[in-house]
Amino acid sequence: MKVHTFRLEEDVLEKLDRTAQREHVSMNVVVGRALRDFVDYAEVIEKMGVMTLSRSSLMKLLDYLTDDEAMDAGRHTATGSALEAERTIFGKESLNGYLRILEVGDRQSKVHSFTRSTSPDGTIDVILVHNLGRKWSLFMHAAVDSRMEMFRKTGQAKDYSVEHADNQVVFRVVPMNPSPPIAVTAGGSTEQVDLE
């Protein structure tokens, strides 16, 4: 790792400081994460034509879908644009790449909060909490289930389960070749750099 000096405007520094304090991490962690997200994902987001949609507009669109249509849309996204993003960013499909996209998507879109933990045996638990209601949970449940089934069929996952409630989706996956447990810092943030 190299050390570099940058000049930043005062208001940017203040925002970085507030974010670091809120997340109980150093400004260095916040800046490093922001720069990593930018260099890894900004080009992909532009290339894929990702657009911003307000929460209220998304909720209104979801209201027009039946439960089956919400699940079909989730499966389509999981095997379409999400898969394309993963291949573009990481050069291949991988369980850790998919989890990283969910995590960065949390920070970028604020649609859900992403919590990940890894047990000593390598089992990964993920909780996606949102406030978009039951149809978003159906969408995400179908999306996650589609991807986990792909990872099981390609030998990256031994087993998995997906559950949902009105405002959350929870899944557990047992990787075929588990990574070491993720270290949780005193502030609650997690770091895992192994992306296969």
**What pLDDT, in 10s, does the model give residues 60-95?**
999 999 999 999 999 998 988 778 878 877 788 889
Residue 153 lies in a domain: yes
pLDDT digits (tens, 9 = 90+) for 105-152: 766 677 788 899 999 989 999 999 999 999 999 999 999 999 999 999
User: At residue 6, what is the residue type?
Assistant: F
Give me the sheet containing 168-175, strands edge to edge.
112-118, 124-130, 168-175, 157-165
Q: Residue 20: CB partners within 8 Å, gap ≥ 6?
A: 26, 27, 29, 30
Indicate which CATH number applies to the domain containing 94.
3.90.1520.10
Domain shared by 128 and 172, yes or no: yes
Structural domain tally of the chain?
A: 2
Q: What are 4-40's pLDDT values in tens digits? A: 888 989 999 999 999 999 989 999 999 988 887 777 6
Assess whether 86 and 41 both reside in one domain: no
| Domain carrying residue 75 | 52-185
pLDDT at 189 > cutoff 50: no
Structure tokens at 121: 């045996």
Residues 89 and 120 in one domain: yes
User: Is residue 130 assigned to a domain?
Assistant: yes
Residues 45 and 73 in one domain: no
Domain end call among 20, 36, 51: 51
Do 32 and 69 lie in a common domain? no
